[in-house]
Amino acid sequence: MHVVYFKSEDDGDGTYDGQVGHAYLHLDDGSTGDEGRDLGFITLAEAANLAQDHAAELDGDGPTR
């Protein structure tokens, strides 16, 4: 499963609306050593667009690791 993880910089109001966070793209393509790609600090809207572009799921809580 392809995933774009988005972790907000702060808790804010709980909606993530307009918030900037750290995003990370993980493409589960079966290759070994696939660490994914750090997308840096972007808005949630940008993360959602990237997820759509890569047919990925958007995880608004960020990676749990």
C-beta atoms surrounding 21 within 10 Å: 21
pLDDT given for residue 62 in this prediction: 54
Residue 22 has a pLDDT of 87
What is the spatial distance between Cα 55 and Cα 21, in angstroms, rounded to a whole number? 20
* Greatest pairwise CA separation for the chain in angstroms: 39
Please report, in tens digits, the pLDDT of each residue of the chain (65 residues total).
788 888 876 655 555 566 788 898 887 766 555 557 899 999 888 999 999 998 999 988 755 44
**pTM, 2 dp:** 0.71
Torsion of CA 23, 28, 32, 33, to 10 degrees: 10
pLDDT score, position 65: 40
